[in-house]
Structure 1
């Protein structure tokens, strides 16, 4: 038994250090040699040497190894690995991997994350935020825009065009602002904290639209023509992908283009495309001057080459082209951004209207996948951050201002819970937004991460808004100019739906793509299996396969060791507050990698159809990424001690969710006994991560109830004003007035307890308190100002019957 235990320890150490096959052979041969000299049983020793020779000698000779091991596994795996369509392959090839691949490996290299430069704004970018963006926010009246105008006012449209809000991503040589992704994010976030309609209007030209496609793929002629016009708003772009019959499913897209000769601008026999399409849900479509159109291109007469079915193609089409029809507007949940259908009937366009020209025919889906990352990784996370910060700041202030039973409602434990969630979720959202923007500016193009933060941040923003509505209560459900929350509550599903609906993103994209894109070996194995040359295929497969097996054995040994030791002894970065979280991240990363390999091994090609399993894997990977971002964000901000409640809440919440999702996977994987054994190996002492405790909930909620540097850091970058007649300005004014009056109120309450003052409302006792020298006249004025501001802050709008009639009955 002692020898067996020693052998198991040796094997575990070899696996943990990822020993080469040669080193492993020497070490195990040494153990066998010592064992042979120490025991008398010749038959057992002989059998062990036979087993050793059968296993290890072939492994050390590639020709024998390929014949005995790699070839049979090659034949076994070929039908098991997921089959990919062309659109899936192009989606996988879009972008690159970054920290997502490190988490997928089970052995993350912390330097990859921590050495990423913190995001910074240039002086020009900061001036733009302090100047035009601040001015634009001051011009926006969300109630007037969404209820009376159903559009931005003309002067706002002019201001957006004049200051090149639609050209933030366009280089200066084309007349744009050439801002970083982080500056782009900061601008959208600030506008989002004021008005979703304006934010969406600015987002679209700077995310998935003609400008991004032109920058990456356009010809110089196309760039020189369109980019200056797009930068100044002379051209308003819209991108037409979604249709009524296939949604955004490119493979089922019914919109077609036929290569043919036609008449164009008075010239006969122009080589071009005759288009027919129908699109809907197209943002900026009703006011667009140029459409980026995705369609399937066919060449039945072989005018371009041998292929008849060329594939998805993207073209730029002015909306005044004959045959193009711009439909009436959609009305997306009482919001006012321009959105509507368009269609084309026998629209003839020349070949040079294809983005990139004739050489880019059939490359449309690849182009779209490359460009989608901006919308997913920048615009929508920025909108989520802006909404969450605005609500956290104002709902926290409201909870301090609003009283029930003579106490601020924020002091009730029932209110503390949603306040704590709002603060913690906002911290997570902002951390992920900033770290991802920094990665993009550093040259990364992580397509899986863009899907993660699109899904996670819009969902977490939804929870923040719901919690805010619960806290606001009646004042939240009564719409009007004073209500800063109602319109945001109504528009939540827009961000959940666009750029890939969240259900699809979670259940199919994050892990469905990530399992292949981010796994250190699966994609390379698939490429080897797909090679036509059998010898070359087997050669490459053999090399990758044994690296994969080594990684799997390492993760198994590491998972067992980290489970037994609770990850206490591994080397991890961080300080006394963060090291434990780095260690738990490493532990859960190992568990995730093992579970993913087990699922791929046992489910093979059917894994892509197991969306409940994929969704839970997505939850694990997503929360590991978010926790990583929180730790990086805390470090980038200088590790302020006052922010520790936010750090602890965010890390515990994300790690707990990752753990629970990982445990849930083991309940639904096939081959239940091995799955349960793997779970027992990874969690031998039970669950390692707990959700935020009650004392942490209290400390986190308190951050939103008091004026502090932490509260300002949490809500930094949004639009804040102190106008008493503004929807959020009145909350800011009341918050500061109430805080200023708190010491005076405390004096009055203390005097009441000592029977110096009778019971009653504070305002009714002021003169008595002044007469008894309990407070001064100046202190009494603070109470009066606070009560006046408090009433203004909690007041709601009311309307006459005639006003409701003018609203069109849509309320």
Structure 2
């Protein structure tokens, strides 16, 4: 749902200018230094990028799903590290609070997340709990009015620089599966909470990812999101459902950028006395990429509008994430092919994005997990009564 087309177009134009004039020119610098310059982060704050999906009542932009998709397709046309810097705050790191937080928790944290004063992270994954997130072993034991947490989280985006950690731990030791898990809000500096140095990664340099280590970390019971014990996995799934729509948009943006790069390269590169754009197999790769981008965008926008209308889009969100992430990988591969040997050399967008977008098929649910979930829901729906 687009609430005010004129205001949205102004926002998109402002974001587009920031990405084109300030982010894209320093992509290689960020890739090499593995850090986003502080003046770029300051501009992100001034533009309100940290709070786009946080409700207006708490200092955010309150963007609808459809509006957020359009913005995300713009911001992701620069190297993925730029969006990752503010993406947690306006996505997965704030959504648990938005959907299930108490009013006191929302008032305390959401305005600070929206302004970029603090950086949030979402600590769910563990060494033995990835695709099977319910297998987590981090424990939270009640001791009087507090809980004591012990465990290890891994592959957590922004963990090395985070100020607020949404940590998922098992509060019911007798339970198995999704039941008995609670979500805790833990601030940086809390005794027993530590983070690792950032991992050295294949791509997405400039987006720090690391481990969260909990050693007898004591927090008050009021730290539980919504003060609802044993409901944390439900909270996580609510946050991930929306984030999968966001991520689909974040896969489409890089594909759009790569298509532009392919067209530019094909128009300027000559072989056999003519531009390679004249070769039909180059044209085929460009055409296939453009078709798939349009298909992904159509699926995404339909799903976003359905979500804004209040429909359950759990299966469609999985479809969006699966199709867009796989599509983006194919487009990135074609871009390297169009660039030829130059596409393997670290001085162009094809090489940079080829490394960056590979992660899309892994996080927020691997492609294989999404296929399983889509199949289950498809078969379940097939047996529902007509008209249900």
Match of 1:195 in 2: 79
Aligned to 2:154: 280
Partners of 1:245 and 1:153 lie apart in 2 by 35
Runs of 4+ displaced beyond 6 Å: none
Distance 2:95 2:382 in 1: 29
Give the corresponding residue for 2:232.
364
Contact 1:285–1:338 at 8 Å: present in 2 too? yes
Match of 1:16 in 2: none
Shift in alpha-carbon separation, 1:397–1:164, aligned structure 2, 3 A: same
Q: Distance in 2 between matches of 1:228 and 1:456?
A: 34
CA distance in 2, matches of 1:446, 1:132: 28
Change (3 A) 1:134 1:120: farther
Residue 382 of structure 2 is aligned with which of 519, 522, 534? 519
The whole-number CA distance in structure 2 between the counterparts of 1:201 and 1:444 is: 30
Report the CA distance between 1:421 and its aligned residue: 1.0
Matched, 1:377 2:261: no
Partner of 2:309: 442
**SS where residue 217 of structure 2 aligns?**
strand
Partner of 2:293: 426
Q: Does 1:311 align with 2:180?
A: yes
Distance in structure 2 (CA, Å) of the matches to 1:246 and 1:460: 27
- Provide Cα deviations, 1:640-665, integer angstroms capped at 9, x if missing partner: xxxxxxxxxxxxxxxxxxxxxxxxxx
What is the CA-CA distance between 1:248 and the residue it aligns to? 4.3
CA deviations on 1:513-568 (whole Å, 9 max, x unpaired) are 3322x3352xxxxxxxxxxxxxxxxxxxxxxxxx57x99xxxxxxxxxxxxxxxxx
More strand as a share of residues: 2
- The TM-score, its normalising length taken from structure 1, stands at 0.45
Which residue is 1:217 aligned to? Answer: 100
1:440-492 Cα shifts (integer Å, max 9, x gaps) = 22222300111111011110111111111111102211112xx1211100122
Deviates more, 1:425-434 or 1:124-133: 124-133
Q: 1:213 to 1:398 in 2, by over 3 A?
A: same
Match of 1:346 in 2: 216
Q: What is the match of residue 367 of structure 2? A: 502
Q: Which residue of 2 aligns with 1:146?
A: 31
The secondary structure found in structure 2 opposite 1:298 is: coil
Using the alignment, how far apart are the partners of 2:344 and 2:118 within structure 1? 39
Q: 2:358 aligns with which of 490, 493, 500?
A: 493
The alpha-carbon deviation at position 406 of structure 1 amounts to 2.1
Q: Distance in 2 between matches of 1:355 and 1:192?
A: 30
CA distance in 1, matches of 2:236, 2:136: 14
Query: Is 2:269 aligned against 1:402?
Result: yes
Aligned counterparts of 1:398 and 1:226: Cα–Cα separation in 2: 46
Question: How many residues of Structure 1 are paired with residues of Structure 2 in the alignment?
Answer: 382
Structure 1 residues 406 and 121, CA gap change in structure 2 (3 angstroms):
farther
Please give the alpha-carbon distance, in whole angstroms, between the structure 1 residues aligned to 2:66 and 2:20: 19
Secondary structure of the structure 1 residue equivalent to 2:180: strand
In structure 1, the residue matched to 2:47 is 163
Identify, as 1 or 2, the structure richer in helix. 1
**CA deviation digits over 1:678-716, x for unaligned, max 9?**
xxxxxxxxxxxxxxxxxxxxxxxxxxxxxxxxxxxxxxx
Q: 1:384 and 1:455 mapped to 2: Cα distance?
A: 10
Give the direction of change, closer, same or farther, for the CA distance of 1:207–1:159 in structure 2 (3 Å limit): same
Q: Cα gap change, 1:259/1:514 in structure 2, threshold over 3 Å: closer, same or farther?
A: farther
User: How far off its partner does 1:432 sit?
Assistant: 1.7
How many Å separate the matches in 1 of 2:363 and 2:70? 20
- What are the equivalent positions in structure 2 for 1:59-98 lying under 5 Å apart? none
Q: CA deviation at 1:220?
A: 0.8
Structure 2's unaligned 5+ residue stretches are: none
Contact 2:154 2:212 in 1 (8 A): yes
Aligned residue runs from structure 1 range 585-600, under 5 A: none
Go from structure 1 to structure 2 and tell me whether the alpha carbon gap of 1:457 and 1:136 turns closer, same or farther (over 3 Å shift).
closer
Q: Match for 2:89 among 205, 209, 231?
A: 205
Distance in 1, matches of 2:148 and 2:20, equals 44
Q: Distance in 1 between matches of 2:90 and 2:268?
A: 39
Whole-angstrom CA distance in 2 between matches of 1:519 and 1:401: 51
* Residues 335 and 299 of structure 1: CA distance in aligned 2, closer, same or farther (over 3 Å): closer
Aligned-residue offset at 1:121: 5.5
* In structure 1, distance between residues paired with 2:370 and 2:179: 28
DSSP 3-state at the match of 2:210: strand
With the length of structure 2 as denominator, give the TM-score of the two structures. Answer: 0.93
Gaps of 5+ in 1: 1-116, 262-270, 301-308, 522-546, 552-811
CA distance, structure 2, for counterparts of residue 326 and residue 428 of structure 1: 40
Q: How far did residue 389 of structure 1 move?
A: 1.1
Displacement of 1:158 in angstroms is: 1.2
The question of whether the paired residues in 1 share the 8 Å contact of 2:179 and 2:233 is answered with no
Distance, in Å, in 2 between the alignment partners of 1:205 and 1:218 is 15
In structure 1, distance between residues paired with 2:66 and 2:74: 12
- Equivalent-residue separation in structure 2 for 1:122 and 1:377 (angstroms): 21
Secondary structure, aligned partner of 1:321: coil
